Amino acid sequence: MSKYRKKPVVIEASQWFKNGDHPEDNCGTFDAGDGPFQGEGNVVRYFRRPDVDGRSKCEKCGYIMDAHGWIDTPPDGFPVCPGDWIIKGVEGEFYPCKPAIFDATYDTVTESQEAELDAILTEHGVQE
């Protein structure tokens, strides 16, 4: 079987713990007469699965499902556990990544490292 190595790519990611945590969520504040409340995020929305009781516990993290988020990335969307990293993919899509997998896969990139990598990729025609 052939072997492959991931292309060097710098990703954007943020760790999610609750509604409104993602920097691109842009949650508004609303008042329906009972006092102000925060609307759902644009990236990580409220968890919504009619077949799952919101008070049931998640098998992956142990939190109740109402504490979870949801990302509408095709084909079927993804639940987001508190503490998951939200990664912005190469085509602008978002998806969750468990903390242990994120820590094993990614390192923090400094601005100088990012500039150096961009220069290498541009030199080799991988990006413009």
Residue 51: predicted pLDDT: 92
Spatial CA neighbour of 21 closest among 81, 109, 110, 91: 81
The pLDDT confidence band at residue 62, using thresholds 50, 70 and 90, is very high
The pLDDT confidence band at residue 16, using thresholds 50, 70 and 90, is very high
CA distance 108 to 23: 18
Residue 61: predicted pLDDT: 94
